Amino acid sequence: IGMALREGVIQKEFRLHYQPIVSLQTGRVAGYEALLRWYTPNQGILNPDDFMYAIDTANLIYSTDHWVLQNACRQAVEWQNKFSSTPPLYISVNLSAKNIKHPNLVDNIYQVLQETKLDPRKLCLEITEKTSAPNDESTIEVLRKLRSIGIQISLDDFGTGYSALNYLAQFPVDVLKIDQSFIKMIGKKDGSNQIVEMIKALATHLGIIVVAEGVEKVEQMEFLKSINCEYAQGYFYSKPLDARSTTELLKKGYQWEQG
């Protein structure tokens, strides 16, 4: 995989899939998360877990995330123009924590927003805490800059990594994504419901919106709704789909049944 990775591959063989993020209150799609796929000539479609490491090793993580940002923003504007909704759809893009340290990050993001004409308030950047705790001063400074123009910052996979509760309060974040591992345990293991409920309560106190990841079952959706969790994402609603199938879904204006 590493051998096959060259800058040109990104343009030619990378595609984005999109997974809806659904409002638990209305059952309607509020936004989409862009998820990277590699359409290889020989090995079929690969998921990020199969090749992110190679991308990192090949020093392509910055160009990859930049490519994703450009394409996701362009696609979001296209959908916003074609399918108007109130509020307009937002797009969520994953950003490797490493890239926050890149000297051109902020300028490049501004540039993409200008080029694509996406409203910054309709862009959400997801930062995972799996790899590193993004809690040093320089990171916080960058996130503050991005937020000052209206970009939303989301903490991905919350609860799995280095997320000490003490830095949540000082970390400039708008959205918290509760990791799938907690959602899977809803209704199964003693204490899991309470942990999810506790995370939601904490977020509410801090003025942070919650997205539940990996929602697969109606019981999970119902529990999340009962604790006033704002958004949910997972196979219960839809798997990540390619741009064409997502467009079809938007055309139908689908609304999910609410428990």
> Which of 10, 22, 30, 35: binder of ligand C2E (CB under 6 A)?
35
Alpha-carbon Rg of the chain, whole angstroms?
18
Query: Considering only residues 14, 156, 168, 173, which one is a binding residue for Mg ion as defined by CB under 5 A?
Result: 156
Residue 234 partner contact from ligand C2E, Mg ion, none using kind-dependent CB cut-offs of 5 to 8 Å: ligand C2E
Out of 94, 152, 163, 220, the residue judged to bind Mg ion by CB under 5 A:
94
Are β-strands 123-128 and 29-40 bridged in parallel, bridged antiparallel, or unpaired? Answer: unpaired
Q: What angle do CA 71, 92, 63 make, to 5 degrees?
A: 45
Instruction: Count CA atoms closer than 13 A to 32's CA, side-chain side.
Output: 30
- The answer to whether the CB of 154 falls within 8 A of the CB of 127 is yes
Q: CA 116, CA 95: separation in Å to the nearest integer?
A: 18
Segment contacting ligand C2E (CB under 6 A): 137-145, 147-155, 158-166, 214-222? 214-222
220: contact with ligand C2E by CB under 6 A? no
Q: How far is the CB of 86 from ligand C2E (least distance, A)?
A: 26
Beta bridge partners of 78: none
Per CB under 6 A, does 49 bind ligand C2E?
yes
**Residue 186 is a binding residue for ligand C2E (CB under 6 A):** no
Phi, psi of 96 (to 5 degrees): -60, 135
Please choose, out of 126-134, 216-224, 230-238, 250-258, the segment that lies near Mg ion by the rule CB under 5 A: 126-134
Q: How far is the CB of 171 from ligand C2E (least distance, A)?
A: 18
The length of the chain, given as a count of residues: 259
Of 65, 129, 157, 230, the one binding Mg ion by CB under 5 A = 157
With beta carbons less than 8 A apart as the criterion, state whether 173 and 146 touch.
no
**For ligand C2E, which is the closer residue by CB, 82 or 130?**
130
| Cα 257 to Cα 13, 27, 50, distances in angstroms | 36, 6, 34
Supply the DSSP symbol for 255: B
Binding site for ligand C2E (CB under 6 A): 19, 35-36, 47-49, 65, 68, 94, 96, 126, 128, 156-157, 180, 213-216, 234-235, 240
Binding site for Mg ion (CB under 5 A): 94, 126, 156-157, 213
